[in-house]
Amino acid sequence: MKFDTPATRNPIDQLKVVGKPLDRIDGPLKTTGTAPYAYEQHEAVPNAAYGHVIGAGIAKGSIMSMDLDAARKAPGVLAIVTAANAGKLTKGDFNTAKLLGGPAIQHYHQAVALVVAETFEQARAAAGLVRIRYDRTGGAFDLTEAKKSAVISEREQPDIAVGDFAGAFASAPVQLDATYTTPDQSHAMMEPHASIAAWDGDKLTLWTSNQMIAWGRGDVAKTLGIPKENVRLVSPFIGGGFGGKLFVRSDAALAALGARAAGRPVKVALPRPLIANNTTHRPATIQRIRIGAAKDGTITAIGHESWSGDLPGGGLENAVQQTRLLYAGANRMIRARLATLDLPEANAMRAPGEAPGLMALEIAMDEMADKLGMDPVEFRIRNDTQVDPEKPERPFSQRQLVQCLRTGAERFGWSKRNAKHGSVRDGRWLVGMGMAAGFRNNLTMKSGARVRLGADGKVTVETDMTDIGTGTYTIIGQTAAEMMGVPLDKVVVRLGDSDFPVAAGSGGQWGANSSTAGVYAACMKLRQVVAAKLGFDPEKAAFADGKVSVDGRSVSLAKAAESGEVVVEDSIEFGDLAKKFQQSTFAAHFVEVGVDIATGESRIRRMLAVCAAGRILNPKQARSQVIGAMTMGIGGALSEELAVDKRLGFFVNHDLAGYEVAVHADVPHQEVIFLDEADDKSSPMKAKGVGELGLCGVSAAIANAIHNATGIRVREYPITLDKLLPHLPEMG
Partners of residue 569 on adjacent β-strands: 450
Which is the catalytic residue, given 191, 345, 367, 692? Answer: 692
- Asked if 58 and 141 count as a contact pair (C-beta separation under 8 A), the reply is no
Residue spans of alpha helices (H) in 537-641: 577-580, 619-638
Nearest one of 412, 433, 731, 458 to 596, comparing CA atoms: 731
- Distance separating alpha carbons of residues 114 and 123, to the nearest angstrom: 9
Is the peptide bond prior to 395 cis by the omega test (within 30 degrees of 0)? no
Do the bridges between strand 459-462 and strand 331-340 make them parallel or antiparallel, or are there none, so unpaired? unpaired
Cβ within 8 Å of residue 92, ≥6 positions away: 99, 218, 219, 220, 222, 223, 247, 248
**100 dihedral zone (left: phi>0; alpha: psi -120 to 50; beta):** beta
CA proximity to 240, closest of 505, 15, 470: 470
**Contact residues for 723 (Cβ-Cβ < 8 A; gap 6+):** 600, 712, 714, 716
Q: How many residues does the chain have?
A: 732
- Its sign, for the CA torsion 215, 216, 221, 223, is positive
Q: List, in sequence order, every residue forming a beta bridge with 493; answer none if it has no partner.
A: 461
Q: How far is CA 162 from CA 9, 168, 176, 303, 580, in A?
A: 42, 11, 19, 10, 20
Determine whether 692 is an active site residue: yes
Helix (H, G, I), strand (E, B) or coil at 329: coil
| Number of neighbouring beta carbons within 10 Å of residue 2 | 10
- Taking the C-alpha atoms of residue 74 and residue 302, their distance in angstroms, rounded to an integer, is 64
> Order of strands across the sheet with 491-494?
2-3, 566-574, 447-453, 459-462, 491-494
Residue 571 has a CB neighbour count (10 Å cut-off) of 22
All residues at 6 or more sequence positions from 395 whose CB lies less than 8 Å from its CB, including other chains: 386, 387, 388, 581, 582
Write the DSSP symbol of residue 614.
B
Amino acid identity for residue 37 in this structure: Y
Q: How far apart are the C-alpha atoms of 296 and 171, rounded to whole Å?
A: 15
- CA dist., res. 708 & res. 696, Å (int): 20
Strand partners for 606: 592, 669
The secondary structure element, H or E, covering residue 474 is helix 472-484
CA angle 13, 14, 15 (to 5 degrees): 85
- In this structure, what are the phi and psi dihedrals at residue 153, rounded to the nearest 5 degrees? -75, 135
Q: Where are the alpha helices (DSSP H) in 604-697?
A: 619-638
List residues with catalytic annotation.
692
